[in-house]
Amino acid sequence: MPDTILVPTDFQVESLNTVKLTLEQTSTLIYIVLVYPMYPSGSITDLLFYSPGKLIRQSVSEEFTSALEILKNRFESRLGGIRTELFHGSTNNAFKNFIEGQGITHIAIPKTYVLKTGKDSFNLLPFIKRCGTPCTMLDWPPFQHHLTPSQQLQTLFI
Amino acid sequence: MNTRNKITLLLAIFNAVMVLVFGGSVYYFLQNYSYTDFYKRLDTRASIAARYHFESDTTDANNLKALRQEHLEMLDGEREYVLSISAIDSIPALARRNDLPEILLRKTLVSGKERFNSGNTFYSAIRQDSNGVVHLVVVSANNYYDSHHQVLLRNIIGVGLVFTLFLGIGIAVYFSKHVYDPIRQIIDKVNQISTNNIHLRVDDYEKDGEINTLIHTFNGLLDRMETTFETHKNFISNASHEISTPLTSIIGEADVALIKDRSGAEYKEALTNILQQAERLRQITESLLFLAQTGYKENKLVLELLRTDELVWESIKIMDKLIPGHQIKFDLNLLPENPVKLKIMGNKQLLLLAITNLLTNACKYSANKPVTISVGSTNSSIIVLITDKGIGIPEEEMKFIYDPFFRASNTKLYDGYGIGMPLTRNIVKIHKGTLVVTSTVHVGTSVQITLPLAILS
């Protein structure tokens, strides 16, 4: 059974460095699950027509998609698959269930990089620290330029 | 006809048609109703008359008569006829005597109940058989409503129609004028702008709306035009400056050498200096020519299938000759595993020129600090990223970096003419790629080239 690694993301290209470093350190086939923590919508119509795929497509930028493609092309033989999931829960048990449901064996989180939380998302780190699944911290030098969205792709090339 | 008049006319016609349809239908339906209503009133009178003349005993008859006089108003010119028909032949005579239309009497005899009108006089007739004799009860009256109210209504509607028509035209004129006001203002303002005062902009009209979008579009266009004008102005002044500097030193050197007789060694030195400057002049004109060529020679470009990593290795080899001891590192961390994802269609010479240009810049402006060149590929394009830790480009000068001969304010200490970046951009552009430059002063610069992947069948 290949490893499935959970990586929290904020849909910024820089957060994908965790994936890059994870893949660089492994030599066996692994699966990656990117998780974006998101508050469920309060609107009844949104909940009625709930579609995680649509929500993800709305939040993901073109650069993020390109960056994912770069990673897939780079680690074609080691990366079994990479998928993006939304986590809507608010309790530790919900997160444990999520991990069990997704078949996660390992978690990788950034050490210095702070995942950005927009107004619709929250910090996943407290859940990760308390869930009991083995967790690795990965670090890369912080990026110094002030970037516009079209310039973000270079944050992957550190 | 201009748009304003067109709008006025359209609105006026629309208005007129609406009022006409409305007024006409009111008139038509009211007239219809007045006929029906008046006949009904006559019918009531005729049937009551018939009843008190023939059906009831005397007490009832008197009661009915009293009731009728009490509750039913006397109509204008109301008359009541009770005719006994002895024979069909007597009808014309009867009609003549009572001044009644003959056809009405004939029809009533057949149908038993009939309505008729001649001009403004309306008739209602009932056939009543009693004791074997045929009687006809006829009630006639002038349709007061038809003669008076109808005319009044016609006049009101007519006057109202004309009045609304004029009002409509007035509103249409005002409306079209008001709607076109902002556009006229924009036209006036834009007409004021010429090459001398291209810094002028159209003022915002209102908070938001289509007009404001138009104004913003105009202003954006003006911004771009202004930049182009500036570029042109700068280009001419920079180009003449760049070309005149070596020329001045050539002339000066020759002048000084010719003042008096000199030894062979001195002439040699002077000529060497002249040669150096002339060489520099040739380089400038050559690169200018190259810049001009890459600007428009898009169609004549010879393309071949290239591997990006090979291109990078080759340009590093060229850099070895240009700047010995450089610290360029080819970062293979994100190089795709599948070599197909490295293939691009391009002109090798031009792409090498572009990459070496950027690498030279990176080495030059960072005083030979380490430079990283990385390659990665998405499913549709190749990304080449060149990162240095150099002096950077001031933020406010970023928009000028593609202007020929432009040199950033912090580059005084470094040699160069400011042709490299525009040339590189032209090369990337003719390969249908994009160039993104990110820079922070004292931190460094990174240049990202995105080129489309070759489509391999």
ipTM: 0.86
| B378 close to A (CB below 8 A) | yes
Q: What is the CA radius of gyration of chain B?
A: 51
Query: For residues B122 and B141, is the Cβ–Cβ distance under 8 A?
Result: yes
Question: To 10 degrees, what angle do helices B3-50 and B58-71 make?
Answer: 160
Share of chain A above pLDDT 90, in %: 58
The candidate with the shortest Cα–Cα distance to A107, out of A8, A13, A15, is: A8
What's the token pair of residue B313?
């290795």
Strands B444-452 and B381-387 turn out to be antiparallel
> What separation, in Å, do the N-terminal and C-terminal C-alpha atoms of chain A show?
31
Contact B336 A73 (CB under 8 A): yes
Considering only CB atoms, which chain A residues are within 8 Å of B439?
145
pLDDT tens readout for residues A57-95: 988 999 999 999 999 999 999 999 999 999 999 899 999
Q: Name the β-bridge partners of A5.
A: A32, A106
457 residues of chain B, pLDDT tens digit each: 777 888 888 888 898 899 899 999 998 998 888 888 888 888 888 888 888 777 656 667 777 777 777 777 777 888 888 888 777 777 888 888 888 888 888 888 888 888 888 878 888 888 888 777 788 888 888 887 777 888 888 899 899 889 988 898 888 888 888 877 878 888 888 888 887 787 888 887 776 678 888 888 888 888 888 888 877 777 787 778 778 888 888 998 899 888 988 888 989 999 998 998 898 888 888 877 877 777 666 666 778 899 999 999 999 998 888 888 889 999 998 899 999 999 999 888 889 889 998 999 999 898 889 999 999 999 999 999 999 998 999 988 888 888 887 888 888 888 777 888 888 888 898 888 999 999 888 888 999 999 999 988 7
In contact, B136 and B92? CB cutoff 8 Å? no
Please provide the CATH number assigned to the domain covering B210-296: 1.10.287.130
User: Which pTM does this prediction carry?
Assistant: 0.62
Token pair 């180009």 is at which residue? B239
Pick from B335, B338, B446: CB nearest A154: B446
**A27 and chain B in contact, CB less than 8 A:** no
Question: In chain B, which segments carry CATH 1.10.287.130?
Answer: 210-296
Whether the CB of A62 is below 8 Å from some CB of chain B: the reply is no
Best residue of B374, B378, B384, B434 to probe chain A, by most A CBs closer than 10 Å: B378
Interface test with B, best of A70, A146, A151, A153 (most B CBs within 10 A): A70
- Residues from chain A that touch B308, judged by Cβ atoms under 8 A, are none
Tell me what pLDDT residue A72 has: 92
Q: Which two tokens stand for residue B453?
A: 């992947």
Q: State how far the Cα of A36 lies from the Cα of A54, in Å rounded to an integer.
A: 14
Residues B446 and A153 sit within 8 Å (Cβ to Cβ):
no
Q: How far is B437 from chain A (nearest CA, A)?
A: 8
Closest CA to B227 of B428, B396, B403: B403
Tell how strand B434-440 and strand B444-452 pair up: antiparallel
- Note whether A157 contacts B374, CB cutoff 8 Å: yes
**Does the structure show a pLDDT above 80 at A122?**
yes
Which of B309, B330, B335, B337 is the mutation pick for testing A, counting most A CBs within 10 A? B337
DSSP state string for B404-446 = TT---GGGTTS---S-HHHHHHHHHHHTT-EEEEEEETTTEEE
Rg (CA), chain A: 15
A147 touches B at CB < 8 Å: yes
CATH 3.30.565.10 given to domain B298-452: yes
CB contact under 8 A, B448 and A151: yes
Per-residue confidence (pLDDT) for residue B243, from 0 to 100: 83
Q: Is B305 helix (H, G, I), strand (E, B) or coil?
A: strand
**CA atoms within a 13 Å half-sphere pointing along the CA-CB vector of B336:** 24
**Ordered domains of chain A (ranges, CATH):** 3-157 (3.40.50.620)
Name the residue in chain A with its Cα closest to that of B342: A73
Beta pairing class for B133-142 and B371-377: unpaired
Q: Which run of H or E residues covers position B34? A: helix B3-50
The answer to whether residues B52 and B61 touch, using CB atoms and an 8 Å cutoff, is: yes
Q: Which helix (H) or strand (E) holds A152?
A: none
Is beta strand B328-331 parallel, antiparallel or unpaired with respect to B371-377? parallel
What is the distance between the alpha carbons of residues A44 and B373, in angstroms, rounded to a whole number?
Answer: 50
Measure B9 CA to nearest chain A CA, in Å: 47
Alpha helices of B323-368 — where are they, by DSSP H? 348-364
Looking at chain B, the domain(s) classified CATH 3.30.565.10 span: 298-452
**Of residues A146, A150, A157, nearest to B334 (C-beta):** A157
Are the CB atoms for B120 and B146 separated by under 8 Å?
yes
CA-wise closest residue to B446 among A14, A100, A144: A144
User: CB distance from B191 to chain A under 8 Å?
Assistant: no
Burial class of B159 by CB neighbour count within 10 A (0 to 12, 13 to 18, 19+): exposed
Of B372, B376, B379, the CB nearest to A74: B376
Question: Does residue B334 belong to the interface with chain A, where contact is any CB pair within 8 Å?
Answer: yes
Pair B371, A110: CB distance under 8 Å: no
Length of chain A counted residue by residue: 158
CA of residue A121 relative to chain centroid, distance: 13
Whether the CB of A150 is below 8 Å from some CB of chain B: the reply is yes
**Is the separation of the CB atoms in B115 and B124 below 8 Å?**
yes
CA distances, B414 to each of A34, B171, B216, B320, B389 (Å): 46, 70, 40, 20, 16
Measuring CA to CA, how many Å separate B85 from each of A64, B108, B386, B439?
106, 11, 121, 118
Phi, psi torsion values for A6, nearest 5 degrees: -90, 130
CB contact under 8 A, A70 and B383: yes
